[in-house]
C-alpha cells in the first residue's frame, strides 16, 4: 500500500511539471518547471520581465547576430557579463532555452530563465 501511495504521488508531481536542461557555468543541469506558463520571481522589477539570461564563453560573440537568429531583444547587459534578453520569438522561454542549448552549446557558458537565483516558479 505504501508503494502504491508513493508511486501515485510521484506520478502526480511529474505530470504537472516539465524537466528542462539549462547550462550553468558550463555545466548542463536539469531543473523541474511546474508549468510552462508559471509565475516566478523575476530579476527585473518591470511588468515585462520574461526572458532569458545568457553568459557567453567569449566576449567576441556577436550579440546582434545571436539576438537576430533567435528573435531576441537585448534588454540589459549586467556589469558581470550577463545579458538579459526579451523573447520575441514564437516559442516560450523554456522551449527557446532548450533550442539554444542544443544549437549553441559551444558559445554559451550560462543560459537560464530570468528567475532570481534559487527561486523556483510557483
The pLDDT profile of the chain, 122 residues, written as one tens digit per residue, is 666 656 555 555 555 566 777 777 777 777 766 554 544 444 444 445 568 999 998 888 899 999 999 999 999 999 889 999 999 988 888 889 889 988 988 899 988 888 755 545 44
The pLDDT of residue 46:
46
| Among candidate residues 10, 35, 109, the one with its CA nearest the CA of residue 100 | 109
Amino acid 30: pLDDT: 74
How much is the pLDDT for 7? 55
- 107 touches 56 (CB < 8 A): yes
Query: CA-to-CA distance for 95 and 21, rounded, in angstroms?
Result: 10
Q: Model-level pTM? A: 0.67
Question: What phi and psi, each to the nearest 5 degrees, are found at residue 4?
Answer: -65, -40
Q: Which residues contact 72 (CB under 8 A, 6 or more apart)?
A: 51, 52, 66, 85, 86, 87, 88, 89
> What is the pLDDT, as a whole number, of residue 68?
93
Q: Provide Rg for the chain, Cα atoms.
A: 16
Please compute, for residue 67, the number of CA atoms within 13 A of its CA located in the half-sphere on the CB side. 18
Amino acid at each position: 500500500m505504501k508503494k502504491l501511495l508513493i508511486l501515485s504521488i510521484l506520478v502526480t508531481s511529474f505530470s504537472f511539471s516539465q524537466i528542462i536542461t539549462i547550462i550553468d557555468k558550463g555545466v548542463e543541469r536539469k531543473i523541474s518547471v511546474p508549468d510552462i506558463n508559471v509565475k516566478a520571481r523575476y530579476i527585473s522589477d518591470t511588468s515585462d520581465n520574461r526572458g532569458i539570461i545568457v553568459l557567453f564563453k567569449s566576449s567576441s560573440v556577436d550579440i546582434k547576430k545571436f539576438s537576430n537568429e533567435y528573435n531576441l531583444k537585448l534588454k540589459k547587459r549586467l556589469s558581470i557579463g550577463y545579458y538579459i534578453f526579451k523573447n520575441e520569438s514564437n516559442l516560450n522561454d523554456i522551449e527557446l532555452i532548450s533550442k539554444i542549448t542544443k544549437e549553441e552549446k559551444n558559445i554559451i557558458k550560462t543560459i537560464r530563465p530570468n528567475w532570481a537565483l534559487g527561486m523556483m516558479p510557483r
